Structure 1
Amino acid sequence: MTNRENRLTTSWGAPVGDNQNSMTAGSRGPTLIQDVHLLEKLAHFNRERVPERVVHAKGAGAHGYFEVTNDLTKYTKAKFLSEVGKRTPTFVRFSTVAGELGSSDTVRDPRGFAVKFYTEDGNYDLVGNNTPVFFIRDAIKFPDFIHTQKRDPQTHLKNPNAVWDFWSLSPESLHQVTILMSDRGIPATFRHMHGFGSHSFKWTNAEGESVWVKYHFKTDQGIKNLDVNLAAKLAGENPDYHTEDLFNAIKNGDCPSWTLYVQIMPLEEADTYRFDPFDVTKVWSQKDYPLIEVGRMVLNRNPENYFAEVEQATFSPGTLVPGIDVSPDKMLQGRLFAYHDAHRYRVGTNHQMLPINRPRNEVENYQRDGAMRFDNNGGGSVYYEPNSYGGPTESPADKPAAYSVSGEAASVSYDHNDHYTQAGDLYRLMSKEERERLVANIISAMKPVEKDEIKLRQIGHFYKADPEYGTKVAEGLGLQVPADVVKS
């Protein structure tokens, strides 16, 4: 006799009498449209895959906690950072950037590093990469940049011509290109890489005093990277290598951890610093603004269901809590819209209500309806504001602190256009062997480029960062550094 507590049911809860045979007109007759169980199964199957992320499609995630180890309340009133020893639940998603959902984990690509803190003041998302900088610094260029990383519309192949053409015409990319083509372009595992907020953010304390801040998650496992030949071998033999490594490490009790540090810059120094502190293609020197420890993040629990937790997890740098706010970084400003909008398209307008995204504190607002609204939709409560019926109201104490802005409304670039100093400094910091591998990786990546014009333009950027850098790439490609670049 069937156990009534373990009966197979339809999606509307009715018991299923036969799940092996569809309903037909006789043993050979056509299938009947009245077989609603069959229709529901097929219709649901057709819709089991939500659209993959446009970027960061392939990823892995885990649950954990963040524990404060240093009192920084003089800088921020964020409650989850309010006392040493305080723990906040977290969910972290690691990812590659350009590849599709089924791509390999071990390709040369930046890695996404997204952290969701489930705080008592709502969720806080820190959505960055394993690099402290990015390829571009204005969100208006982002769709074009990502197009170059995706497949050619005619051949449906990756297109090195587009990649290097865009980079050579966007010299601000040089710093990130140098990191990407270095040893750190292929991390050994998700556990053996740093994470960064990348952008500049603003912290405000209980007295309303603000500072600019940058985030650095330093891996406690140490940095490890993959040799290019081993990475290529793994890409063919085990394309899910990083996903498997993270899951098995946590399963076996080898729980990875990162120590979070911040750099703090007084507001007024942003106007005089030698690089624009809001330009995401640049770093702040740690000699100028030393790292200050904040706390430690540990990942200790694997997802129970990949789709429900990793695939449906939604992150946005606009998911903020009191005490933490944004900066005028142009790339960040664009992400504030684009990320939430991507989630509304991909997962649904009520994506924040899904268990993996839902805040641990009670949500009280006047948003109603929308596809897949699966709670009581506010019941019979008041549904507008202001109102006279005692609904939730604003709390002025939680308004973000103001900062001064000035200027004309116009499409303008950043004032600072030195794209070479930091890339050159990074090159010179590398050992001889690291520089040789960097150059070899670049040569290998640029050889398929069809136009010498593109190669020479990019060589010029390398040369301006460091003459040896450009010369060695040129020699490897059988070219010479352009004479006008050498003279300049």
Structure 2
Amino acid sequence: MSKELYANSKDDAVYSTSFGVPFPHHPYSAQRAGPTGPLLLQDTYLIDALAHFDRERIPERVVHAKGGGAHGYFEVTDDLSDITYAEPFQKAGYKCPVTVRFSTVGGERGSADSARDPRGFSIKHRTDWGNWDMVANNTPIFFIRDPIKFPHFIHTQKRDPQTNLGAGPDASHFWNYLTQNPESLHQITYMFGDRGTPDGWRHMNGYSGHTFKFISKEGKITYTQFHYITDQGVKNLSAEKAGELAGANPDSSQQDLFEAIDNGDYPSWTVYVQTMTPEQAEKFRYSILDLTKVWSHKEFPLRKVGKFVLNKNADNYFEEIEQVAFSPSNLPNGLEASADPVLQSRLFSYPDTHRHRLGPNFNQLPVNQPRTFQKGSGCPFLAGNFQRDGNMAINNQGNRPNYLSTIRPIQSVSVPDEDFKSTHNYTGVVTKKMEDESLSVQTEEAKKHDEKIWEGASYIYVSGIQDIDAEQPRALYEKVYDDAAKARFIENVVGHASSIKQPGLKEQVAKYFGQINDDLGQKVAKGLGVSY
């Protein structure tokens, strides 16, 4: 509990039923047919309490189930108006509220915060122009670049279908997948290094990983990736300490964040972007759509944008953190998704899982509701649309027609628009002339940079492994890790892979790391007690 709660123990609420009527009896009481008689069906108070209790749990996230977060603000310190018309980046000094959630990826909701695993790093920006969600990780790369592989890989993190055991007693599923999909080598080299077990959420960076597109007022594309650099400094746990915390305090990161904010020690992160022109992208050694690759900071230096600060703990974890729903599809005008296939798949997958977990109206929950839907929010316009009804419709938009109507036409705006006052409506018949004009404008825009996602016949495509896929993990191991870090890396790999029970797989693990260099492969083989 927070210090404020302990300091202010008076509760002004009157104990009542779920339908708001004061309950005049002891909260523990129940209606019975005499002091020792059976319970009465007419005791709606008891039945309501038990029925609600039976439904308190919602499905946990299929990934990122274990996590925590807080509220704060994002502030622009350096505008990006030269490369995007996205409203939040137009002027230094702009500030908006945020909710941030950190998490592990593969574990269940009761798993340990200190597990060796990537960390989710998601930020919901409630801007004056709608929600912008950055659904990032604490690693700049990921295990996959083909979206269909995601459920395959995540299944290796879950319980065995027969034994119902996790990966601890037998890591065969995990390493069996990795050795068949060596594009994962970069992420594994990162994750089994020191940064694989960060010392709490406050001491780790965040990265978009995916490439996005900034669109300028002139329609020019600039490719971008986002970086969130901790102002607290990066700190990591040793493998021994991480294991110790997993048993002694599996909620260590949540506790650390909550207590820091409660004590007024507000964590912050400085926000940067890396940018690349389409011409640079075409000459870049790697595909900018490959989630297993990073961009050189020397070639594409970081550009400062702003910072975000977490200064308020949630008053109710379930309402404000468990129900928060981040979607990479939530983007402001002027910031778009690239053709990165994993990002494209997440544009669907994240909102879809929220509809499953929280219902079709998850965006109407207070923690998710865009400020633009709230009257008196100070936003330059009031949002409206034609979505209606469904479970838990909290804001059903009153008597506004639920279709594109000439009776009470909803207004539209064109972007970019500085004040959103130049409105028009799209009611009436769409003529052939209007169709031709729209196609003409879009054709001219497409000529500015040929970026066709779909052309001609469809392709059944899966990426193949190339020699260059080992270049970046090799550079990470050979040039970034010092001798002590290399030794810890090998120890971490051997410690995890030693539980493999599948015959011959340990040899494959050694060959997997041999793609970085033979010396590493031999050392892993020696640690696992197999030949190389």
For normalisation by structure 1, the TM-score amounts to: 0.94
Match of 2:451 in 1: 404
Match of 1:282 among 287, 293, 303: 293
The AA in structure 2 aligned to 1:413 is V
Separation of aligned partners in 2, 1:213 and 1:6 = 50
Match of 1:273 among 247, 269, 284: 284
Secondary structure of the residue aligned to 1:247 is helix
Whether contact under 8 Å (1:427, 1:469) holds in the other structure is no
Separation of aligned partners in 2, 1:451 and 1:9 = 58
Match of 2:106 among 94, 98, 102: 98
Match of 1:433 among 461, 475, 484: 484
- C-alpha displacement of 1:105: 0.8
- 5 Å matches for 1:366-381? 366-375=386-395, 377-381=396-400
Match of 1:463 among 476, 489, 514: 514
Match of 2:243 in 1: 232
* Alpha-carbon spacing, 1:16–1:164, altered in 2? closer, same or farther (3 Å): same
Whether contact under 8 Å (1:420, 1:461) holds in the other structure is no
* Alpha-carbon spacing, 1:407–1:182, altered in 2? closer, same or farther (3 Å): farther
Separation of aligned partners in 1, 2:61 and 2:193 = 26
Residue 208, structure 1, aligned to residue 215, structure 2: no
* Alpha-carbon spacing, 1:414–1:287, altered in 2? closer, same or farther (3 Å): farther
Residue 244, structure 1, aligned to residue 295, structure 2: no
Separation of aligned partners in 1, 2:251 and 2:275 = 38
Separation of aligned partners in 1, 2:472 and 2:504 = 25
- 5 Å matches for 1:381-396? 381-385=400-404, 387-396=405-414
Match of 1:51 in 2: 59
- C-alpha displacement of 1:313: 0.4
Count of aligned positions: 476
Separation of aligned partners in 2, 1:172 and 1:321 = 32
- C-alpha displacement of 1:407: 5.8
Match of 1:135 among 128, 143, 146: 143
Identity among equivalent positions (%) equals: 45
The AA in structure 2 aligned to 1:412 is Y
Residue 168, structure 1, aligned to residue 179, structure 2: yes
* Alpha-carbon spacing, 1:415–1:472, altered in 2? closer, same or farther (3 Å): closer
Match of 1:312 in 2: 323
Separation of aligned partners in 2, 1:201 and 1:455 = 38
Secondary structure of the residue aligned to 1:328 is coil
- C-alpha displacement of 1:391: 3.0
Match of 1:12 among 19, 22, 27: 19
Secondary structure of the residue aligned to 1:397 is coil
Residue 69, structure 1, aligned to residue 77, structure 2: yes
How far does the alpha carbon of each residue in 1:169-224 deviate from its partner, in whole angstroms, 9 at most, with x for none? Answer: 11111110111111101001100000011100011122211111001101111110
The AA in structure 2 aligned to 1:411 is I
Whether contact under 8 Å (2:146, 2:463) holds in the other structure is no
Residue 294, structure 1, aligned to residue 271, structure 2: no
Match of 2:210 in 1: 199
- C-alpha displacement of 1:8: 1.7
Task: Note the residue ranges of structure 1 that are not aligned, 5 or more in a row.
Answer: 482-488
The AA in structure 2 aligned to 1:175 is H
The AA in structure 1 aligned to 2:389 is D
RMSD: 1.8
Secondary structure of the residue aligned to 1:168 is helix
Secondary structure of the residue aligned to 1:361 is helix
Match of 1:424 in 2: 474
Separation of aligned partners in 2, 1:252 and 1:79 = 34
Whether contact under 8 Å (1:220, 1:256) holds in the other structure is yes
Whether contact under 8 Å (2:65, 2:105) holds in the other structure is yes
Match of 2:38 among 30, 33, 55: 30
The AA in structure 2 aligned to 1:201 is F
Separation of aligned partners in 2, 1:327 and 1:241 = 36
* Alpha-carbon spacing, 1:456–1:391, altered in 2? closer, same or farther (3 Å): farther
Whether contact under 8 Å (2:400, 2:408) holds in the other structure is no
Separation of aligned partners in 1, 2:465 and 2:506 = 25
Match of 1:356 in 2: 367
* Alpha-carbon spacing, 1:47–1:294, altered in 2? closer, same or farther (3 Å): same
Which is worse superposed, 358-367 or 264-273? 264-273
- C-alpha displacement of 1:452: 4.3
Whether contact under 8 Å (1:98, 1:109) holds in the other structure is yes
Separation of aligned partners in 2, 1:246 and 1:166 = 34
Match of 2:499 among 448, 459, 464: 448
Match of 2:385 in 1: 365
How far does the alpha carbon of each residue in 1:446-477 deviate from its partner, in whole angstroms, 9 at most, with x for none? Answer: 11112343222232221112222212111111
For normalisation by structure 2, the TM-score amounts to: 0.87
Secondary structure of the residue aligned to 2:504 is helix
The AA in structure 1 aligned to 2:500 is V
Match of 2:115 in 1: 107
